[in-house]
């Protein structure tokens, strides 16, 4: 192992290299700050010299802050010519536009596949064989994970094994450079991650690079004397590490929002009342109704955006201990952090490898997944990966939706093309009032991209709900069935006229509980105990 300054790292990356960056960042995961120093150096070198060029990049979900940081720095024509990752939007708008404009071949894989692929590469396996992605745009019959016209390669193959359909996501043959992060390295290169809030596949990434003849570079906050690390705290052994560099403090935050929070790394716990409450808006209303689908003992995952509010609602209602929340980054228990701390957890019970959590999800151990949506079709097909013509990617969405026994999709009934045209609501006094209707219908005849197959979900016997501020739908064989309507809402004007297709209307159409539409609720515990 050799210690080098960060400025030397770009010189280790050559023209035509395949570069793997660990991390499942999405706005808040630490890789946003992890890679920033390195990526800036890499970008500057390319702009000054034209090298390194013609690179292929692999990433798990997103490396960025959804703005200008992270993989935005490699979005220069000729610098990256091929990219495969679990998410695009989290890498910054530059990445989504780079893909839209066909400046490189861009492919999107489910996050769980990206994580599992590290093990496949390390073991010289042909790839990842899974049912995740069948009859979605991952399926080679419907796009093969290609995010733009420049993407021509057949990276996903449809298999028939014992009469069942499977997808083979093909393993890359070569990882020239793997870039990972730890908290400290000792003088022999042993890496500990004791201050990290998650485990993002650093070990398997290092093994994958070594298995294909590549090098491994690790960012840490400091170097310690050899022999001073507890072997049980060593996550990546020094025999797999080629280079270590010490990051500047401003580039080694724990998350995009927190320099260091010991709660996230499990070093202490705080009173649950320190978890912030949220105001009564349509987001909280939707989260309250989604929370009603949870029962005591459930294992649950909350997606990005609206779904994260479910954890705040549970904390307010004193129900956090009645079920177990999990995160794609490996957090078990506690309350998942929101905003730019997303991926960490308050008062977690365990932090396991992200690859292991996806094994749990894909294997059916997940009882409930709460996820967002962009568009819904008449047969329950759903788009969560393409917005306003820009491919944003699926992240862990497909693994969660594919593995959970019950899926609760959450979002507003309509949307807006601009901030000024998004819907506005007044929630209170036991009812919902629409102040301004959104100018974009979300329940439409044909979704822009199929991220979730209603047919596959029904074939697997899943319960699927679509929860909005004004209506709740259930997926049945005949299509979407309207089962609840908010108090204060007109069925024709506010629901049916705002859809491109006619749903099935339940014979026993119910009104959503009025208690959800008032400042204080206090009913969740009784609902959960009764199920």
Domains within the chain, CATH numbers bracketed? 2-178 (3.40.1080.10), 276-530 (3.40.1080.10)
Q: How far apart, in Å, are the Cα atoms of 449 and each of 40, 376, 485? A: 33, 10, 28
Task: Report if pTM > 0.85.
Answer: yes
How many Å separate Cα 353 from the centre of its chain? 15
Give me the half-sphere count of Cα atoms (radius 13 Å) on the Cβ side of residue 103: 17
Give the Cβ contact number of residue 435 at 10 Å: 8
pLDDT in tens, the chain (531 residues): 999 998 898 899 999 999 998 754 433 333 434 467 788 889 999 999 999 999 999 998 777 666 677 788 999 999 999 999 998 887 778 899 999 999 999 999 999 999 999 999 999 999 999 999 999 999 999 999 999 999 999 999 999 999 999 999 999 999 999 999 899 999 999 999 999 888 888 999 999 999 999 999 999 999 999 999 999 999 999 999 999 999 888 878 777 778 889 999 988 988 866 666 789 999 999 999 999 999 999 999 998 888 989 988 998 999 989 999 998 888 899 888 776 777 788 889 999 998 999 999 999 999 999 999 999 999 999 999 999 889 999 999 999 999 999 999 999 999 999 989 999 999 999 999 999 999 999 999 999 999 999 999 999 999 999 999 999 999 999 999 999 999 999 999 999 999 999 999 999 999 999 999 999 999 999 999 998
CA distance 59 to 70: 11
What does the DSSP 8-state code read for residue 200?
A: -
- Residue 81 phi/psi, 5-degree rounding, is -110, -10
Strand partners, 376: 382, 443
The encoded tokens of residue 69 equal: 């940081």
CA distance 291 to 467: 11
Check if 328 is active-site.
yes
Return the closest-CA partner of residue 38 out of 215, 249, 247, 250: 247
Catalytic residue among 32, 207, 235, 328: 328
């Amino acid at each position: 192992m050799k210690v080098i300054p960060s400025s030397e790292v770009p010189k280790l990356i050559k023209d035509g290299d395949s570069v793997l960056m660990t991390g499942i960042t999405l706005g808040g995961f630490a890789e946003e700050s992890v890679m920033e120093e390195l990526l800036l150096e890499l970008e500057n070198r390319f702009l000054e010299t034209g090298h390194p060029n013609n690179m292929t990049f692999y990433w798990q979900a997103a490396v960025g802050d959804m703005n200008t940081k992270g993989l935005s720095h490699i979005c220069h024509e000729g610098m990256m010519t091929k990219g495969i990752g679990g998410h695009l939007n989290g890498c910054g708008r530059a990445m989504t536009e780079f893909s839209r404009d066909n400046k490189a071949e861009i492919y999107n894989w489910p996050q769980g596949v990206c994580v599992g692929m590290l093990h496949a590469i390390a073991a010289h396996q042909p790839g990842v064989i899974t049912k995740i992605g069948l009859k979605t745009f991952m399926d080679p019959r419907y796009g093969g994970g290609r995010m733009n016209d420049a993407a021509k390669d057949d990276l996903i193959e449809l298999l028939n094994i014992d009469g069942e359909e499977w997808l083979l996501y093909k393993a890359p043959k070569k990882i020239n450079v793997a870039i990972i992060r730890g908290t400290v390295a000792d003088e022999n290169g042993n890496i500990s991650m004791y201050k990290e809030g998650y485990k993002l596949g650093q070990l398997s990434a290092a093994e994958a690079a070594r298995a294909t003849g590549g090098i491994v570079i690790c960012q840490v906050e400091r170097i310690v004397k050899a022999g001073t690390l507890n072997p049980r705290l060593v996550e990546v052994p020094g025999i797999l590490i080629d280079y270590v560099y010490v990051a500047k403090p401003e580039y080694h935050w724990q998350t995009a929002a927190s320099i260091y929070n010991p709660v996230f790394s499990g070093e202490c716990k705080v009173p649950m009342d320190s978890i912030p409450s949220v105001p009564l808006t349509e987001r909280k209303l939707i989260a309250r109704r989604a929370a009603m689908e949870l029962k005591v003992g459930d294992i649950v995952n909350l997606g990005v955006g609206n779904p994260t509010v479910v954890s705040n609602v549970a904390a307010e209602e004193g129900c956090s201990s009645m079920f177990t929340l999990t995160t794609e980054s490996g957090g078990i228990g506690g309350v998942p952090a929101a905003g730019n701390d997303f991926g960490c957890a308050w008062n977690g019970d365990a932090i396991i490898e992200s690859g292991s959590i996806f094994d749990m999800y894909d294997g059916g151990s997940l009882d409930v997944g709460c996820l967002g949506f962009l568009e819904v079709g008449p047969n329950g097909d759903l788009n969560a990966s393409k917005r306003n013509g820009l491919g944003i990617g699926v992240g862990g969405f497909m693994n969660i939706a594919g593995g959970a026994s019950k899926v609760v999709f959450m979002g507003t009934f309509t949307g807006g093309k601009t901030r000024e045209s998004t819907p506005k609501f007044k929630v209170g006094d036991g009812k919902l009032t629409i102040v301004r209707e959104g100018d974009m219908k979300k329940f439409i005849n044909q979704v822009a991209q199929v991220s979730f197959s209603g047919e596959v979900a029904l074939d697997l016997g899943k319960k699927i709900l679509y929860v909005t501020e004004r209506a709740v739908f259930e997926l049945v064989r005949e299509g979407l069935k309207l089962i609840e309507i908010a108090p204060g809402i007109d069925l024709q004007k506010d629901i049916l006229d705002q859809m491109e297709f006619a749903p099935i209307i339940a014979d026993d159409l119910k009104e959503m509980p009025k208690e959800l539409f008032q400042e204080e609720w206090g009913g969740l515990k009784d609902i959960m105990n009764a199920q």
